[in-house]
A and B are shown apart, each in its own frame.
Chain A
Amino acid sequence: MNHLGALLLLAINTALINNMVFHFFVGNCPFIGVSRRIDTAFGMGCAVTFVTAVAAMLSWTCTYFILAPGAPLTTWAWRQFNPTSQAVVDLSILNYVVYIFLIAAAVQLVEMYVRKFFPALYKAFGVFLPLITTNCVILFVCLEIMKHVSGATGPLYWGPDEALVYAVFAGVGFLIAIVIMAGIRQELDHCDVPKPLRGAGITMIIAGILALAFMGFTGVDKGLEAMFGK
């Protein structure tokens, strides 16, 4: 299979089959919180996609050059201290700290950008835009990339292209999930929901049913692999 085919497979796999919200159950708080209206939900999905892509690229760079065991920059710095040593320098203890730091910086950047160029969207997000900082989709993507960079070899290894495709389509998967949810919730406003289930209750039930529906994609990757593999 050529490289482009593998990337396409990775994209479909990330966005649909292993959807962030419905398969891994990450990013539930903006998924429930900002899915009241389709336009806000779409904006949130785009913002998350953008932040994920930026944070993933930053974290791939940091992991590859600084954090992974035997990373070039740290090894070079190590050799400055003792040129004869052959020890493998490992800064993976810093993984979480660095990722959260990078995500926070990326969110700040996006917040300023949105405030400048999309004031209406900025107003609609309210508190949820700074809350992307704590959106687990992004940390999840960073950690997934970390798994495929530090210590991974062969087909398991991800270059920056795979990392970017993975991050963008993780965001797209989140976008699909939150927009579908917002569409359902807009219709739900006209329904007579039993009182104890109103609000978050019925939303969680619908999210569960949607997750069941997305299970239907299971196995699609195998078929596609067989198709592209020839």
Chain B
Amino acid sequence: MTVITIILACGTMLLLAVLAAYALGWADRVFRVPVDPRMEAVLAALPGANCGGCGYVGCSEYAAAVVAGSVEVSKCTVGGVSCAAALARILGVEVKPAWPYRPVLHCGATYAQRLKRADYRGERTCAAANVISGVQGCAYGCLGFSDCQLACDFDAIHIINGLAVVDYEKCVGCGACERACPRHIISMVPFKAERMLVVACSNKDAGRDVRAVCKVGCIGCRACQRASDLFQMTEHLPTIDYDSYDPDKMPDLNVLVARCPMKRIVAVGKPSEKDLAAVKDQELPGVVMGEFRTTADEAEWRG
């Protein structure tokens, strides 16, 4: 009895499996949706971070747009150049030179250097502090309430001494910090070289007014404009046109940096050989001082 019951049970399952396989196989043929094989290949080549840095909702939306040909292959900031090359190979198109876009902060003043700061007790976000006047003297500069740090999924931007600092080793260029900043002082620029020149100030006021609110702000002296035509002055503030930025045809970065009396022209990105050599002899601190903040500080009551 038992043996035959087992045989019958096995036979039943086998029979059902064959029937179901036949039915599903038939359905697969009848209901087949032709999917562009390039679409699957493109999706496999994308990093799958779904970060939205390309401007689409997720990787699959971007893949669909790429296959449709309505967008360039080089928009994926996480995948970078290798991803663009892979997509171009799949689709058989020419890849235009694509530079990784990375955020740069157009402010360089720490808490100590920003003047007329008030004791702000409102909601601890830049977005809230930005709608109130008088939190600090400079109406353009970094507020330091870490909206960008909270927006970053890659732990690549931190508030250090009240100023956002990008960690270019970790940054993938998704642009979340750019969108989070209520003062729009973070911008995504194409990193055409490992180190890029940045104007680290956003204050458009005249020199006297800037000096009243910031120890280090740009005073609009035009020294940089005289040194190189890379800089265009608009409203007492130089801006860099990154479209015409060409690292091969530029004077040495350090020369340009040295021209600015306020040291507001800075080079950001990976540390250069010279920087590393300069600090080579310095001893590392034996004791690393911890930051006395806990996760509870991040989770404070926000009204």
A positions within 8 Å CB-CB of B: 62, 66-67, 74, 77-78, 81-82, 87, 89-91, 93-94, 97-98, 101-102, 105, 108-109, 112-113, 115-117, 119
Contact = CB atoms under 8 A, between A and B. Distances in A.
B212 interface: no
A101 B20 contact: yes
Contacts of A81: 4
Interface in B1-37: 1, 4-5, 8-9, 11-13, 16-17, 20, 23-24, 27-28, 31-33
6 contacts: A62-B16, A66-B12, A89-B5, A93-B9, A101-B16, A112-B28
Given A98-B16, A101-B20, A105-B20, A116 B8 contact: no
B23 to A, nearest CB: 7
A116 B11 contact: no
A94 B27 contact: no
Interface residues of B, number: 18
A158 B23 CA distance: 27
A105 B23 contact: yes
A94 B24 contact: no
B26 to A, nearest CB: 10
Contact of B31 (A77, A91, A116): A116
Nearest to A85: B1
Interface of B: 1, 4-5, 8-9, 11-13, 16-17, 20, 23-24, 27-28, 31-33
Most buried by A among B4, B13, B28: B4
Contacts of A90: 5
A100 B12 CA distance: 14
Nearest to A67: B12
B45 to A, nearest CB: 22
Contact of B8 (A91, A102, A113): A91
B238 to A, nearest CB: 45
A93 B13 CA distance: 12
Given A87-B1, A112-B27, A112-B31, A94 B12 contact: yes
A84 to B, nearest CB: 13
B9 A94 contact: yes
A113 B28 CA distance: 9
A101 B21 CA distance: 11
